[in-house]
Structure 1
Amino acid sequence: MGKIILDNIRLFGFHGCLSEEKRIGSHYTVNIEIELDFNEASTHDNLSKTIDYVNLYYLVKEEMKIHSKLIEHLAQRIIQRIKKKYKEFLIEIKHIKVKICKENPPIQGNIDRVCVILND
């Protein structure tokens, strides 16, 4: 068993319930953690037996382009898309964890970021 972790993917998006969030946008960080069996990939040095983290990055980037009111919804979409994509390649994912942080959220206060974590 092993984990693939994409740590602190930095992207820009237009997520939120406020009209200014949809218009101005925000910076986000996304962390993805996927647990799966690496045995075949590590034994045979075969990329097709694991998850290609480059493709995973582009999947997250594509989902960030689709507006969501809630980053919880965005996290769920990312999880569902990962599961669907790698099911086609017969890769059995044991666990997915997605953490999305909105940097400098529009809150009247001193706060660096707001984050949600969704586990599947």
Structure 2
Amino acid sequence: MDYIHVNEMEFYGYHGALAEENVLGQRFRANVSLAIDLAEAGKTDNLLKTVNYAEVFEVCESIIEGEPRKLIEALAEDIASTILDKFSWQVKGVRVVLIKPDPPIRGHYASVSVEITRGKFV
């Protein structure tokens, strides 16, 4: 299996369990990995034989900058299912890491994140 990785995309959204998060918003980062056979794309140099990662970015952007959710787990699930649906002809599996760099919790930490894998990801 081959992989496409789209790393450290950054967006601004209004997600969170606390009311302030839905009003003030905050930054979110996402890493998405696609399990895909890239042999034909590599042999032909043809964009139609792969997944355009600009479209993967657009999927993430529309979801993260879209309708507010309470949980980043819900955002990650939405991203994964949308990618699997939109690119079902090629993508065998998807891994989504959604990072919340500044959650409103006390303490010292770099961030909190969720990671989900859907489909076949070998």
TM-score of Structure 1 vs Structure 2, range by shorter chain: over 0.9
The yes-or-no answer on 1:69 pairing with 2:81 is no
Count of aligned residue pairs for this structure pair = 117
**CA positional deviation for 1:49:** 1.2
**CA positional deviation for 1:41:** 1.0
TM score, norm. by length of structure 2: 0.91
Structure 1 distance, partners of 2:94, 2:106, is 33
**Counterpart for residue 110 of structure 2:** 112
State the percentage of identical aligned residues: 32
**Counterpart for residue 79 of structure 2:** 78
Q: Which runs of 4+ in 1 moved over 6 A?
A: none
CA-based RMSD: 1.0
Letter matched to residue 94 of structure 1: K
**Counterpart for residue 31 of structure 1:** 31
Structure 2 distance, partners of 1:71, 1:96, is 16
Structure 2 distance, partners of 1:6, 1:101, is 14
Gaps of 5+ in 2: none
